[in-house]
Amino acid sequence: MKIQEADAKSLLVAQSLPIPGWEVAHTVPEARAAAERILAGGASAVVIKAQVLVGGRGKAGGVKLASSADEAEKVAAAILGMEIKGITVRKVLVAEAADIEREFYMSAVLDRAGRRILLMGSAEGGVEIEQVAIDHPEAIIRHHADPLLGLLDYQAREFVFEMGLGGHLKAAVAIAKGLVRTMLAYDADLVEINPLAIVRERDAAGSPLERLVCLDAKVTLDDSALPRHPELEALRDPDEEDPADREAREAGLTFIKLDGTIGCMVNGAGLAMTTMDLVKRAGGEPANFLDIGGGARADKVAAAMRIILADPKVDAILVNIFGGITRGDEVARGLIEARAVQERDVPMIVRIVGTNAAEAAGLLEQADFETASSLDDAAAKAVAASRGAAA
């Protein structure tokens, strides 16, 4: 689950990371009032940032500075309602503008292959880090945290020195350790600060000083661990959840959209993976991974069908059910129900074996469904149907 920058910052503040204060505004007057408060507090400018769950907001014009309340109002009016990568901006973050000396990148990610937390850092922050990784991968420093003890002090120091942040050793070490702590505290799979910035400030006496602060924050949470953190469910942003993902979640289906043309409806994660492999081997491309789970009833099947058909790229559907606790006839009934109400008709190949397979076959034959006897046969038929539709 992706969460908004402002929410990610709240989680990081709770782990004592240094983050300049902010307010969230949903309307232009709210944004203006926030800017007025911040400017009245002594700030010379505010930064106004679109809150959308995509990166590259800066480049898209979704991050702007303003040095007066009037200007803040104009900027907020321009950002609220704008589209960034297809998402409408409905809220903005308003904060005192930082006077940036230098931008770094620092993140912690779950390294599944390494089975531990990986810290990544770079002195080339601010810009798109993906490009840095491609153009000069050596500019990205990597260290694994200890799987049992977390990030040890000496590891953090090594990491920070290699990043070129030795001048802010203490603060940078605290931030690196804080990122790992945040990963563990919330079962996050990514905690990313870009930019992590050295900013120019003034102390109480007015003398200049430099400080290391997190100016942007991105946190994604492990969906499978969310039941352990019920309070984080409130951070889900329904405005930005993909409608298909939302429907799948509400129906209790495991659904992952892919780029191909063959919709797959399967029960069990392993069988779903196998089905996708077979579709590929037969020369096709799966449009999704979809596991209807064990014991799925007709209504769940109908929901799965709606989700698959909502993807305009889908031009053939492969249904592959191994009836254990799932009853084949229930699935067949769900398919028949779904087809009766669906708006778009695409060729569908159904293979149901196991519990109540004979009843399922009878129902499907009566309703004129195309069935397949073996999995290879089903995959080949689905690929042929998709090719026929594309031709």
Tokens matching residue 206: 């007015």
Is residue 176 involved in binding ligand GDP (CB under 6 A)? no
186 labelled catalytic:
no
The residue number whose beta carbon is nearest to ligand GDP equals: 58
DSSP 114-164: TTEEEEEEESS-SS-HHHHHHH-GGGEEEEEPBTTTBS-HHHHHHHHHHHT
* Binding residues among 4-33 for ligand GDP as defined by CB under 6 A: none
H/E stretch holding 340: helix 328-341
Among 126, 284, 328, 334, binds ligand GDP (CB under 6 A): 126
Indicate the burial class of 136 (C-beta count within 10 angstroms; 0-12, 13-18, 19 or more): exposed
* Binding residues among 256-285 for ligand GDP as defined by CB under 6 A: none
- Least Cβ distance, residue 203 to ligand GDP (angstroms): 19
Cα separation, 153 vs 173, in Å, equals 8
* Binding residues among 203-222 for Mn ion as defined by CB under 5 A: 216
Q: What's the helix, strand, coil split of the chain in %, to 5?
A: 40, 25, 30
- Least Cβ distance, residue 49 to ligand GDP (angstroms): 6
- Least Cβ distance, residue 125 to ligand GDP (angstroms): 7
Cα separation, 349 vs 320, in Å, equals 9
Is residue 244 involved in binding ligand GDP (CB under 6 A)? no
The catalytic residue among 73, 96, 124, 192 is: 192
192 labelled catalytic:
yes
Is residue 219 involved in binding ligand GDP (CB under 6 A)? no
- Least Cβ distance, residue 172 to Mn ion (angstroms): 18
Mark the segment that binds ligand GDP (CB under 6 A) among 95-103, 155-163, 240-248, 253-261. Answer: 95-103
Kindly list the distances between the CA atom of residue 259 and the CA atoms of 239, 254, 262, 370, 373, in Å, as whole numbers in the listed order. 23, 17, 9, 24, 27
Cα separation, 314 vs 258, in Å, equals 10
Among 51, 194, 371, 386, binds Mn ion (CB under 5 A): 194
Q: Name the residues that contact ligand GDP, by CB under 6 A.
A: 47, 49, 55-58, 63, 65, 97-98, 100, 103, 126, 194-195, 215-216
Catalytic residues: 105, 192
